[in-house]
Structures are given as structure tokens and as C-alpha cells.
Amino acid sequence: MRLLVTGAAGMLGRDVASAGAAAGHELSALARSELDVTDSAAVEAAVREARPDAVVNCAAWTDVDGAETESEAAFAVNGPGAGNVARAAAAAGAWTVHVSTDYVFSGEKRSPYLESDPTGPGSEYGRGKLAGELEVAGAAPGGHTIVRSSWLFGAGGRCFPATILRAGAERDQLTVVDDQVGCPTFTGHLAQALLALSRDRVAGIVHVAGGGQCSWYDFAREIVRLAGLSCEVVPGTTAGLGRPAPRPAWSVLGTEVAEAPRLPDWHEGLEAFLAAGVPS
């Protein structure tokens, strides 16, 4: 399979490119510095040159708080930028796999969100990602998979476990919120799922996240325990953080799609992350 990966220098993009190469796919991996997805002409040219069977779009504005103050720039990448990728892929006869997020939901539910549940983002980031889903669906109506995932972490970039490991080695106590619950998802596991969806061409929206669920507090405690750190982890509240962007209180994703890949439990993802080493 000829595969084009956008956003290939990011945490998820690196793992998708690595997994694609390991699987023997003919790979074109383009970082943001090599392809700005907001430039429709550049995207069209890149897709024409790569002649892919599938395009995995990992390009995204992921700074949730930054999106509140730089909403136009964030929206351009996460909304129309996603549409540019899907449109170019469709014109080339390629399948689009687009990565979205739990932030398209309000977070008010207390059972797993399914693909058919109504959306209701509460942040600029979430609104931009939802716009991207609509752009992809409109640009490639018969040739796309939209993959919603949550709480990504991996060895190829800055992420929550890496932050906890650094802070836990420097401090005696960490305060971590216990009023947000989600599904931590190891990008090494998600990358394999994205390749499978590219191959199998599962159409529509699919939820793919790490198995199980926990709060950030629970997640942090497990990170500290497995790393053998001596710092204490105490529970805090989201309100106490005073972050610019609202966070969904509930980000647990389930699926009603029979063909959706099932990922290992988040504990297994954390163990794989720790085995791979902490990113610098």
C-alpha cells in the first residue's frame, strides 16, 4: 500500500510513519515544515506526487489552550486544513483516514460516547476539530474514515506521562485533577489501528481509544507507581487549574461499529510507553 502521512513529525504522525515503514508500505511522510495543510495548492501537489492509496491525516493544531487565543489559526488547520487533505485525496482516488478527538463532545454524558451521539464541543479546539470532521465528510463523501480518539500519549513527543515523570522526579507532591475521566491512548497502539483502517477502508466515524477508563489522577498515580517515584499524588479539581480552555469532564469513548479496531487496555499502553523511554 502506498501511504501518505501528514503531520509526520508529531507524536502520532511519527508512530504512524514508523508502523507503516515496518509493515513494508511505500511511505511518504510529510512534516508541517514540508506541508502546510492550510495551503490547498500545496496539499494537492503533494498528494499528486505521492500517488497514495491512503492518506492518514495526523496534521493538527493540538494546543488546546492556545486555540482559545489563536482561534483563527487553530481553526484553519483543524477545520479547512483537514478538508484540503480529504479533497486532494479524493481527487487522487485515495482513502482518507482523519484523526479527530473526544473534544467534539460536551463531556456531560456518564456512559461511553458512541459514534451516533450528538456532538457539542465546549472549546475552540473542539469546535475546530468538529468542523474538520464535517469538512472531511463533505470533501470525500464516499472515501473517508474519521477516527475519534482520546488522551493520546506516546514516546515521540510531549505528553502527560512524560510531564508526570519529569515533575515527579523534581517534586515531593503533585496535584492532579480527578474530575476528568477518559481513555488514555498509546499512540503506538493507535498507529496500528489507523493502518488497519486505511487498509480495510471502514467508512464513516469510528471511535478508537485505549481500553478501560480512568481519571488524570488515577493515570498519574499509575505512572508514578510504575516508574518507582517517591512523590505523592493528590487529587485536585479542573476549576482549580484555571486553564483558558474548558475540558470535557467525561471523555470515555465506546463504539457501535463492528469493524472498529479494539486497542489494548491503557495500562498496557503505559507499560509500552515506559519501555520505549521518555521523550526529551
Residues with catalytic roles: 125
First-last CA distance in the chain: 32
Place of cell 500545496: 42
CB atoms within 10 A of CB 150: 22
Q: Is 104 helix (H, G, I), strand (E, B) or coil?
A: helix
Cα–Cα distance list, 152 to 50, 78, 87 (Å): 28, 17, 26
19 grid coordinates? 508502523
Place of cell 499528486: 48
Burial of residue 227 (CB within 10 Å: 0-12, 13-18, 19+) is middle
Which amino acid makes up residue 100?
Answer: S
Place of cell 483516514: 97
Q: Which residues face 147 on adjacent strands?
A: 99, 206
Q: Where are the alpha helices (DSSP H) in the chain?
A: 11-22, 40-50, 64-69, 71-78, 80-91, 124-139, 160-170, 187-200, 216-227, 238-241, 266-276
Place of cell 465506546: 254
138 grid coordinates? 463533505
CB atoms within 10 A of CB 47: 24
Question: Helix 71-78 crosses helix 80-91 at what angle (to 10 degrees)?
Answer: 20
